[in-house]
Structure formats: C-alpha cells, structure tokens
Amino acid sequence: MTGTRTYDIVLFGATGFTGELTAQYLARTAPAGTRWALAGRNPAKLAAVRDRLAELDPACKDLPLLHADVSDPGSLAEVARSARVVITTVGPYVEYGEPLVAACAEHGTDYVDLSGEPEFVDNMYVRHDERARETGARIVHCCGFDSIPHDLGAYFTVQQLPEGVPLRVEGFVRVDARFSGGTMQSAVGAFGRGPQTIRAARARRRATRPPVDRRVRVSVGPSRFAPLGKVVPLPMPGVDPFVVARSAHDLDRYGPDFTYGHYFAPANPAVAAGTVAGAAALFALAQLPPARSLLARLQPPGTGPSAERRARSWFNVRFVGEGGGHRVVTEVAGGDPGYDETAKMLAESALCLAYDELPSTSGQVTTAVAMGDALIERLRRAGITFRVLKRT
C-alpha cells in the first residue's frame, strides 16, 4: 500500500517553533526526490513557512500545502491516506495528538512525534496499538530529546555487554539549554495532570503482556554507579526511563533480567539545588489553573531560544552498564537538545522509517525497537555521537 502513497513524508505543525526547524532540516538534508509536504490549518502561515524554506532550497517553492486540523477528522484521514510517514509537532499531545494517531493507525501510516507526555503515550497504546498492528502502522512516540538519546543510548550500551545475562544500565543526563513556549506548556500541563497520568499508566499495565521468562525494571532509587563527579545524581522522572523499559520489554538482547536507572547529573551543588527548587516550584504552580495560565502567557507557544543561544547549547548522556562480569561506559552527545538536535532526531526518524531496511514491526513501538542500528547510524552521520568511553 505504501507504494501508492502520494507523499513519502508529511510534516504537520511546521508553523510552530520546532516544526519549522524540522522543516528546515528536511529542506537541507532530505534525499533528492523525496516527496514531502507541509500540513496545517492555516494556509497563509504554511505558505510563509514555504517561502522561507525556498530560501534554503529553491525546490521548496513548489512544496505542497495540505489542510489538516485536529478538529476535522476527515482532514487527518486524508493526510494519513496520502503519506507513508507523518511527522507531528502539534502539542500538547494530550490535548491535540490523538486524532492523528487514530488516523495513522487506521490507514497503516507510520507516525512520529515529539511527545514527552507519559499519559498520552500510555493512552495511545491502550486505544490504538491493536489497530496499528492490524494495519501495519508503526506508531513511534518520543522521537526528540525525549527520548532518543536515552532509548538508543541504552540500546547501544546493551550491545557492548554480554548476551544472556542480567544487565543493569544507568543513564546520567547533562544539558545546557533553554526551553521553548511549547515545551513549557507541555511540561506545565503534564505536572497538572497527575491523577490522569497515573490512571493511564495503570491502564497500560493492564493491557500489556509481560515478557515470558524475562524481567524488566525501572530503578527509582539512588544510583549505583554515579560516574560524573562528586555531586549525587538526582533521579529523573518522566517518560525516558519507561521508554527504555519498553524497548527492553520487546527485545531479548536486553537479557533475562534488565534494570534501568535514569538520573540528572548536575555540575555542582548549586545547580542541583536550583534544579530541585525550580522543579518543585513549577510542579506546585501547575496545580493551580490561574498559575498555569500565567505561565503560558509568560512564554507562549511558538516562541523559543534564538539561533545564537541554541548554538551555545549542548547535551551529553553518559551510560554505565554492567553484566556478566563486564562494565562499559558509553556516551551520546550533541548540540542544542531541545530544538536543533530534536528537529534533527525527528526528521531522521521519519526518513529512517521511509527509506531504510528495518525490522518487521507494527503497533506502538520505540525508536530502539523500530529503527535501532539504522537510526543510530543516521544520527552519527548527522553529527550526534555514540561512542564507547571505557570497557572493564
């Protein structure tokens, strides 16, 4: 069926901050002959994005513009029927994401997004995984900084360790970056939806069959390895450790007993204290509707850090893995995590699904399960490093 699709890739949300960065990345790097289009509800804004893309690549002046609106299921169905892969940057996904997931699952269309929202990911599994398996659609959430460096980094680390033995991997995150308005809105929204997130996680667990004769766990306690300096790493909640666990759930290579711990590795005690205080304050404010509205007005969606600030931004995630008497230290690193590198990761994920020879998968799958080695190689060529630092 994919051979009859009009487009290889359709990007929904190109008029947003990260969406336009993703469009720019595709304009610069998509292979010649890639059939792609922009989709959204405002044709004038889409046309303005297309004009800016044509300054990067004159061929973009003829880029098709498609109508797509989350309040119009018919428009999303038409987009899904026309595309091999749909990219969406339209969030918060818990508010706006489900209609497009449903359309892609129904029409056998591969789908990638930037969601870092556990509630959304769990609900989409419960509601649409079965249909996606039936149609052959690959629904791949969390294809940006949440959660590619962590998911593929853990996968890369596991590959350096012996097979068939219990494994423990811990990831330690360091970043220097700024957030956009859309990211802030998603974070505040997630902090304010604690009960809904818990209900979604429970529903996901009821719908998921555990692996046979294997165990997968997420560690929420102190780090055993702590390789980065004297500051105690802080457990880092969010979607990332659970994405890693889902990859381990689906792939035997993670061994008969796999444990993953995910931590923020502050550079010094002051950074650690500031991070804890800031997170606590944001969580407290997110419980109050007036405060949520105020935060949204202070940094509205569609805004983000300047190109100069992004050029100074960076991330690295260091992993320590143990198993079978061996230890390995690996690292995934790159530039601005929230925007430039996220746009790169998202676009390369879509190109990987569209063009690369990949394992036969369907339904809601992680980047490690759906794309694994092929996506790591793409990201390496694009400038994100995956390397082994030490073996013992």
Selected residue with higher pLDDT from 184 and 212: 212
The CATH number given to whatever domain includes residue 134 is: 3.40.50.720
Pairing of strands 314-323, 326-334: antiparallel
The overall average pLDDT reported for the chain is 90
pLDDT of the residue at 304 = 74
- Tens of pLDDT, residue by residue over 220-270, are 889 998 754 566 788 888 899 999 999 999 999 999 999 999 999 876 666
Q: Is residue 138 part of a domain?
A: yes
Asked if residue 300 and residue 201 are part of one domain, the reply reads yes
CA–CA–CA angle 192, 196, 200 (5° rounding): 140
- Tens of pLDDT, residue by residue over 188-206, are 666 668 889 999 999 999 9
Q: Is residue 207 part of a domain?
A: yes
**The domain containing residue 215 runs over which residues?**
148-338+385-391
pLDDT of the residue at 193 = 80
pLDDT of the residue at 176 = 86
Residue type, 145: F
E strand or H helix that includes residue 50: helix 43-56
How large a percentage of the chain has pLDDT more than 70? Answer: 85
Asked if residue 244 and residue 192 are part of one domain, the reply reads yes
Q: Is residue 378 part of a domain?
A: no
**Which among 355, 96, 47 is positioned nearest to 20, based on CA atoms?**
47
Cα–Cα distance between 35 and 12 in angstroms, integer?
Answer: 15
Asked if residue 304 and residue 156 are part of one domain, the reply reads yes
Asked if residue 132 and residue 37 are part of one domain, the reply reads yes
Q: Is residue 239 part of a domain?
A: yes
pLDDT of residue 374 exceeding 90: yes
pLDDT of the residue at 271 = 60
Asked if residue 334 and residue 367 are part of one domain, the reply reads no
Q: How far is CA 135 from the centre of its chain?
A: 23
pLDDT of the residue at 114 = 95
Asked if residue 177 and residue 50 are part of one domain, the reply reads no
The band of 1, judged by pLDDT with boundaries at 50, 70 and 90, is very low
What is the mean predicted confidence (pLDDT) over 356-368? 98
DSSP string, 241-257: HHHHHHHHHH-GGG-SE
DSSP string, 216-232: EEEE-S--S---SSSSP
- Beta carbons of 37 and 80 less than 8 angstroms apart: no
**Which among 175, 171, 329 is positioned nearest to 262, based on CA atoms?**
171
Radius of gyration of the chain (CA): 20
pLDDT of residue 282 exceeding 80: no
**Which among 146, 92, 210 is positioned nearest to 367, based on CA atoms?**
146
Q: Is residue 379 part of a domain?
A: no
What is the mean predicted confidence (pLDDT) over 346-354? 98
Q: Which residue has the tokens 């529903």?
A: 203
Asked if residue 286 and residue 180 are part of one domain, the reply reads yes
**Helix, strand, coil percent content, the chain, rounded in steps of 5:** 50, 20, 30
Q: Which residue has the tokens 């097979």?
A: 163
Residue type, 342: T
The domain total for the chain is 2
pLDDT of the residue at 391 = 96
Cα–Cα distance between 298 and 218 in angstroms, integer?
Answer: 35
Q: Is residue 66 part of a domain?
A: yes
Q: How many residues does the chain have?
A: 392
pLDDT of the residue at 305 = 79
- Tens of pLDDT, residue by residue over 284-321, are 555 656 655 655 565 555 567 788 888 999 999 999 99
Asked if residue 318 and residue 349 are part of one domain, the reply reads no
- Beta carbons of 259 and 319 less than 8 angstroms apart: no
Q: Is residue 160 part of a domain?
A: yes
pLDDT of residue 37 exceeding 80: yes
Q: Which residue has the tokens 């008029």?
A: 15
Asked if residue 185 and residue 221 are part of one domain, the reply reads yes
Q: In what order do the strands lie in the sheet with 7-12?
A: 65-67, 36-40, 7-12, 83-88, 110-113, 138-140, 363-364
The residues facing 216 across adjacent strands are 258
Cα–Cα distance between 22 and 17 in angstroms, integer?
Answer: 9
- Tens of pLDDT, residue by residue over 155-179, are 999 999 999 999 999 999 998 877 6
Asked if residue 360 and residue 324 are part of one domain, the reply reads no
Q: Is residue 380 part of a domain?
A: no
Residue type, 25: Y
What is the mean predicted confidence (pLDDT) over 120-148? 97
Cα–Cα distance between 350 and 1 in angstroms, integer?
Answer: 18
pLDDT of residue 278 exceeding 60: no
The tokens for 216 are 């997968």
Asked if residue 72 and residue 114 are part of one domain, the reply reads yes
DSSP string, 293-356: HHHHHHS-TT----HHHHHH-EEEEEEEEEETTEEEEEEEEES-TTTHHHHHHHHHHHHHHHHS
- Tens of pLDDT, residue by residue over 324-339, are 999 999 999 999 998 9
Asked if residue 322 and residue 346 are part of one domain, the reply reads no
pLDDT of residue 78 exceeding 70: yes
Cα–Cα distance between 351 and 315 in angstroms, integer?
Answer: 23
Selected residue with higher pLDDT from 278 and 106: 106
Cα–Cα distance between 298 and 280 in angstroms, integer?
Answer: 18
pLDDT of the residue at 274 = 58
pLDDT of residue 349 exceeding 60: yes
pLDDT of residue 281 exceeding 70: no
